[in-house]
Structure 1
């Protein structure tokens, strides 16, 4: 192989960055060269390593050096395509997340594919052929490489929709992937914030409820990916959601509602618990909630609770999260048998909600109830069913990704029509009597207004400002009006608690905790905004002053929303060093306080495992495992196919358990037996640390999703002793 062939990776790195920078036509030449330099350094670094390995041109060295160059080129290309299409860099954590849930994300990735992607891949592989052309004459190999590169780079350029956010280009494209996206936040001075109430105190707050208080029905409608500025109540010149506009005239319309973190599952945790989700990319909350969500607290008051969505329950452990939150009933795409279309990749169109929702409300109208409806159609790829005619909207200022935004506006219009049909049917059946309806967006959506698409890493208004409307009887929610002041998704749980008579919900308890929407606006309130991508962006909003900090880039942005609602005039350059340091410290402190609270809740849960008395709800058992005896257990008789099993085990410790002894569950079907996992480690309180005379109570969620309908026996093994525990029936899905 000709030695100059090793220049190809460096040339490719420089070429891709040049294409990215060229999309910023207004950038001066000097700035463009500065942007290309990091990739040139990485490219020539790969060249140096590969050249050293290739020096002897024999055996495994030659093969490894060629594969090294090929891998570097592939990584750079993938990072380039992701950056150009999403506006955010591809990092190692996102790559791991995609790999773990590839089965559910496959269709989403396919929706982002373009016809020229295979052309790009083939051209890229062909361009690497000279690494394997050892016998090809040098001149001929040179011209072959030039010709193939001439095909490849134009294909790469076709992946560029518009100019990206320039700060991201300040580093080599592969930097987040190779060096990691998050090296761990620094300066987490938790002392800046008073930590939230501990989980036990949250439950005690509900215990102080006035027994004579009303128990109104509550319906929560979550509008998937709905940003406020694209709905008619918040943008009257844009006629996407006329029904919401009509309903808003008879409701409380909160002008400034924000999500904490722009990701659906994270927003779900925040809405139903009233406290922040974990501020990190990994979805670890399902099966690990430190405090009961308001659905479980409502059940204790005699409510029936249900959740209906047209999307799959398999993505990000959705069913487990809702079971952990305390919902009685959950209806997902797997339970819906409908002739309606599946225009996206996660499930049915939104009209598939209507029949199961109405049926559920009819079945439970005789008792207090709460029902959540979570829409889907406005989620990427923003496709509407074929029965919905494509509409045109007058938009004063189209975002750069116009084609996607047009589809998005149509998807919102479709969802609005579905809401009109739903409300018409509920009113006809008098299912809205004594009912409060809360309508909210889980997060916004970006269309390259600031160079980024979608959600997850968009701290600007299009990604975090969501519609928030409360509709209900005036004696419960007051007279219709528009309400100012900053609000956040944590406030929904506090509002539900307030409606059913739980005291103290209208007073701020902590900057990390929700306040009832029925409380007067707090002019001194600060809301915090975080990216789903670890340490990518975080910000705060107080009054009209919005500060965004990008830890990876060490960059600050500042906006005055009173005069610059679209955030086009960055005032970050006016910040003094002391102000930037103070804001960085404040944001890192909030991040640290939230994550510290979650870790403290984990530790407290382990402490509660060792008790002197058993909880009263456990069924008595007596199964001898040597030095420990199982004396109590709580487990359901049956679960639906695809669900986790909730299991609580209680032991009486009679003697010290040997070091190394562990608990292991097994599932037995017929003659087949295999170990099963729990969501959290069954041995998080190691048996060797159990104290003699104590009662050890271990809660767990057992993963039985791989088992089909039928009978399953659950066995427990401690050390060398294995005994049957429970007979479980896995039921077929109801349609």
Structure 2
């Protein structure tokens, strides 16, 4: 990467939005050269971010399911509810997609009863931008926001829960970090919006252990007749896998490396998700409730010299799980690339509501109910921050293009042959690179850059360009 595009120093970042560091420590580092990637402990398995079929998942691919007689886009249940569970920092390389360590038995079991996506991409690579894009069904660069990194959203940004609320759907959510207070702009459209009480405030990491209280709060909300007596949408964002990785009694230790500690956090969260799922299944409305599991971004463990998340759009930071279980679906694995902007249209269609015309994504409902998945391009969007020029990434089939510095430089990879994104092919495969770059520019051109209202001293190649 050209030196002008390298980050200089890590800001003190807001907890759930804490970004990549160039060392393995919890606090922001002093400016330093990029170290070598952390050595993996002897106990830690080596995992790839490439799509994989796990024996644990044991679900057929979409084409196999179609050949077996999967129903063709049959009608959705008219009384369907939707529960979304997002787990902060959950990478795609989990056991149901081939990770050799059994760190998530509950989610691995869930995958067997769901449509699982092996190539799902978050909208961006850190919480503020990714969840804003999820709720708006749009790319963060085109959303009004208060600042360059924290990105609090004003009421003028339409979030899909607002459309559900207007349609008479009860909308519920609860969160586990102080970032999700009313200033973040995520309250729009929610009838119930709660935050776990007593959380410490830390702008760089998350030292709170919240999954037990989060499950209790979710169960309390879902137990109230006023909330679940009719159709409802609920969303709970679990935070424990977010750095700082805290130890838990009875779990591990798997080892001493950063990945080992992270794996233990995933196991801890997985166990508590199991308690939430058991509760849902025990309720009368449980059999009429679709459950969607995903993440806001991945996590770095030394790949490309980076730890944590944010600042870049490498696959380990943007490639995340997506599993959807709903009444009437045939469990299978879909290997076509899909995007976080697809979730808003999907959830709206589950409630019989059209998407807003400004939304960028495409509903997944037809393929959930048996339609052959279409080939589609995916774009990831990392808006201009005070530290970096804008970055975007574009995936078409096995090819991935990363556009840096407001399209002033490119990297080009074949994810099938090189899932770790180590070999830049733009010179070796020049014709394919030019073709993909042209497709990227056409798609990127549909995303209007909106400048944040707050003005900060900017770094990067284009210091005078505000967005």
Report the equivalent of 1:407. Answer: 261
Q: Secondary structure at the match of 1:407?
A: helix
Q: Distance in 2 between matches of 1:163 and 1:496?
A: 39
User: Cα deviation per residue 1:405-448 (whole Å; 9 max; x = unaligned)?
Assistant: 11111111111111112112232344523101100111111112
Q: Distance in 2 between matches of 1:586 and 1:285?
A: 31
**Alignment check: 8 A CA contact 1:277 1:285 kept:** no
Report the equivalent of 1:543. Answer: 397
Report the equivalent of 2:342. Answer: 491
1:89 and 2:7 aligned: yes
Q: Distance in 1 between matches of 2:160 and 2:287?
A: 21
Matches within 5 A, 1:281-680: 281-291=148-158, 293-313=159-179, 319-324=183-188, 326-334=189-197, 345=206, 347-363=208-224, 364-384=227-247, 386-392=248-254, 403-474=257-328, 478-502=329-353, 513-520=360-367, 523-531=374-382, 533=385, 534-535=388-389, 537-551=391-405, 554-576=408-430, 587=440, 590-591=443-444, 593-596=446-449
Give unmatched runs, 5+ long, in structure 2: 39-75, 455-467
Instruction: Output the TM-score relative to the length of structure 1.
Output: 0.48
Report the equivalent of 2:110. Answer: 247
**Alignment check: 8 A CA contact 2:37 2:301 kept:** no
Q: Distance in 1 between matches of 2:199 and 2:301?
A: 32
User: Cα deviation per residue 1:151-206 (whole Å; 9 max; x = unaligned)?
Assistant: xxxxx99x975269xxxxxxxxxxxxxxxxxxxxxxxxxxxxxxxxxxxxxxxxxx
Q: Distance in 2 between matches of 1:310 and 1:429?
A: 24
Q: Out of 240-249 and 419-428, give the one that drifted further.
A: 419-428
1:217 equivalent among 66, 81, 94 = 81
- The structure where helix makes up a greater share of residues is 1
Q: Secondary structure at the match of 2:197?
A: helix
**Alignment check: 8 A CA contact 2:392 2:404 kept:** yes
User: Cα deviation per residue 1:266-291 (whole Å; 9 max; x = unaligned)?
Assistant: 22122222222226944445114443
Q: Distance in 2 between matches of 1:294 and 1:275?
A: 10
1:112 and 2:30 aligned: no
Q: Give 1:90 shift.
A: 2.1
**Alignment check: 8 A CA contact 1:435 1:472 kept:** yes
The 3 A distance-change label for structure 1 pair 560 and 420 is: same
Q: Secondary structure at the match of 1:408?
A: helix
The 3 A distance-change label for structure 1 pair 367 and 590 is: same
**Alignment check: 8 A CA contact 2:174 2:214 kept:** yes
1:262 equivalent among 125, 129, 149 = 125
Q: Distance in 2 between matches of 1:464 and 1:488?
A: 10
Q: Secondary structure at the match of 2:187?
A: helix
Report the equivalent of 1:274. Answer: 137
Q: Give 1:523 shift.
A: 4.3
Q: Distance in 1 between matches of 2:355 and 2:218?
A: 32
Q: Distance in 2 between matches of 1:256 and 1:345?
A: 28
The 3 A distance-change label for structure 1 pair 163 and 573 is: farther
Q: Distance in 1 between matches of 2:109 and 2:37?
A: 38
Q: Give 1:482 shift.
A: 1.3
Report the equivalent of 1:162. Answer: 36
The 3 A distance-change label for structure 1 pair 334 and 286 is: farther
The 3 A distance-change label for structure 1 pair 113 and 237 is: closer
Q: Distance in 2 between matches of 1:110 and 1:405?
A: 10
User: Cα deviation per residue 1:538-560 (whole Å; 9 max; x = unaligned)?
Assistant: 22100111122333895432222
Q: Secondary structure at the match of 1:360?
A: helix
Q: Give 1:228 shift.
A: 0.6
User: Cα deviation per residue 1:199-226 (whole Å; 9 max; x = unaligned)?
Assistant: xxxxxxxxxxxxx982411110001011
The 3 A distance-change label for structure 1 pair 537 and 503 is: closer
- Comparing both chains, which one has the higher relative contact order based on Cα–Cα distances under 8 Å and sequence gaps of 6 or more? 2
Q: Secondary structure at the match of 2:290?
A: strand
**Alignment check: 8 A CA contact 1:310 1:353 kept:** yes
Q: Give 1:500 shift.
A: 1.4
Aligned length: 396
Q: Give 1:585 shift.
A: 6.2
**Alignment check: 8 A CA contact 1:259 1:466 kept:** yes
Q: Secondary structure at the match of 1:323?
A: coil
Structure showing greater Rg: 1
Q: Secondary structure at the match of 1:233?
A: helix
Q: Give 1:297 shift.
A: 1.6
Q: Distance in 2 between matches of 1:487 and 1:359?
A: 33
Q: Secondary structure at the match of 1:261?
A: coil
Q: Give 1:248 shift.
A: 0.8
Q: Distance in 1 between matches of 2:153 and 2:366?
A: 30
Q: Secondary structure at the match of 1:432?
A: helix
**Alignment check: 8 A CA contact 1:221 1:374 kept:** yes
Q: Distance in 1 between matches of 2:443 and 2:324?
A: 29
The 3 A distance-change label for structure 1 pair 163 and 490 is: closer
2:96 equivalent among 233, 242, 247 = 233
Q: Distance in 1 between matches of 2:101 and 2:297?
A: 19
Q: Out of 424-433 and 326-335, give the one that drifted further.
A: 424-433
Q: Distance in 2 between matches of 1:245 and 1:409?
A: 14
